[in-house]
């Protein structure tokens, strides 16, 4: 299996991008801690300091910090100074990432389609990515090649869909925040592209350019074990597919990838070993479309070879594969070993 390895300049800038992106994420999180404001409000002739902000659910929150005093005055001043510093730091890193993206773009390193990148960033911002929702299917290859420092054959990464594995056991929830129903996923997609709508297939959303987002979930036995959430007419209904429980239970694979403009994003998918074995299993199914079967087989062999050659810390004999049936693993390894 042939891979196009990063040249020296590309390797250097990939490392620089990861470092700057992590610094930017830290700055965003710090700035988030200063959201809202501290204001004085008068009650019964006394001034009180209040911390006010809007929570993720859109509701305004307010808390009294005490009467006006030297201590509360100092508290307000410190808050405003530190908030200004946090905003300034994040803006400087915005500019650094923009410059870095231009360098990456000039080096031909951009890979993830822009529409997929916009969706993944929104999922990440809302706290869903990697927490009940992860990427499966062809788009996972962008994470694997980024981790290995190589480019794959464009023929197997070209795709028109973004498959999202929906972990229905956890749901689309933010810790400490109200659960987002499947309706909320469609709303979020429309923030990436206003033309997104639910397709006749209930598990799929599509936009005017024919880009598809599938919401899928493992087949549950018995079927009533999956609790159904209240859903509106515009809600996606996750399609149950056999074998996806292996991906649901697989270790997560978290990687910084680059979109087509060279800008970084977080991509959370499944362990590449599990991906390869699962793709091999799908390719062997008699009910699989012949054209997709050939692509599945090629992806399985490619990811298996990439993992062995470049990701030596992920051996195929590790306990991390215990969520897979032994027979499926043994058959895959017998055919993918070469």
pLDDT in tens, 145-172: 999 999 987 777 777 766 655 454 443 2
CA-closest candidate to residue 226, choices 169, 178, 181, 164: 169
Residue 174 has a pLDDT of: 23
Residue 223 has a pLDDT of: 44
Stated pTM of the model: 0.85
Query: What is the mean predicted confidence (pLDDT) over 187-211?
Result: 89
Torsion-angle region of 280 (φ positive above 0: left; ψ -120 to 50: alpha; else: beta): alpha
CA distances from 172 to 117, 168, 196, 249 (A): 19, 8, 19, 16
**Between 30 and 205, residue with greater pLDDT:** 30
Residue 77 has pLDDT above 70, yes or no: yes
CA distances from 268 to 121, 168, 192, 299 (A): 11, 17, 18, 18
Residue 243 has a pLDDT of: 80
Residue 278 has pLDDT above 90, yes or no: yes
Torsion-angle region of 106 (φ positive above 0: left; ψ -120 to 50: alpha; else: beta): alpha
Q: Where are the domains of the chain?
A: 26-105, 111-269, 271-338
Predicted confidence (pLDDT) per residue in 208-258, tens digit: 998 888 887 776 654 444 444 445 667 777 766 778 888 888 999 999 999
């Amino acid at each position: 299996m042939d891979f196009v390895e990063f040249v020296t300049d590309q390797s250097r800038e990939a490392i620089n991008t990861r470092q700057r992106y992590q610094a930017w994420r830290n700055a965003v999180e710090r700035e988030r801690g200063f959201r809202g404001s501290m204001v004085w409000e008068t009650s019964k002739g006394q001034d009180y300091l209040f911390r006010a902000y809007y929570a993720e659910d859109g509701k305004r929150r307010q808390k009294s910090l005490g009467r006006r005093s030297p201590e509360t005055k100092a508290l307000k001043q410190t808050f405003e100074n530190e908030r200004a510093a946090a905003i300034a730091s994040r803006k400087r890193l915005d500019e650094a990432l923009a410059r870095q993206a231009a360098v990456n773009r000039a080096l031909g390193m951009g890979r993830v389609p822009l529409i997929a990148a916009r969706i993944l960033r929104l999922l990440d911002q809302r706290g869903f990515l990697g927490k009940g929702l992860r990427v499966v299917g062809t788009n996972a290859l962008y994470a694997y090649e980024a981790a290995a420092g190589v480019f794959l054959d464009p023929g197997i990464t070209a795709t028109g869909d973004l498959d999202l594995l929906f972990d229905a056991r956890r749901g689309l929830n933010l810790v400490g925040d109200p659960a987002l129903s499947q309706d909320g996923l469609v709303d979020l997609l429309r923030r990436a592209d206003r033309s997104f709508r639910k397709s006749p297939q209930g598990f799929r959303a599509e936009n005017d350019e024919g880009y598809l987002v599938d919401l899928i979930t493992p087949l549950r036995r018995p079927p009533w074990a999956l609790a159904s959430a209240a859903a509106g007419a515009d809600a996606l209904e996750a399609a149950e597919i056999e074998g996806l429980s292996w991906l649901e239970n697989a270790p997560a694979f978290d990687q910084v990838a680059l979109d087509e403009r060279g800008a970084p994003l977080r991509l959370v998918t499944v362990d590449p070993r599990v991906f390869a074995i699962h793709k091999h299993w799908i390719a062997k199914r008699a009910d699989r479309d012949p054209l997709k079967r050939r692509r599945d087989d090629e992806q399985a062999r490619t990811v298996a070879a990439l993992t062995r050659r470049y990701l030596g810390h992920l051996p195929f004999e590790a306990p991390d594969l215990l969520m897979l049936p032994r027979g499926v693993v043994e058959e895959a390894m017998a055919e993918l070993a070469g």
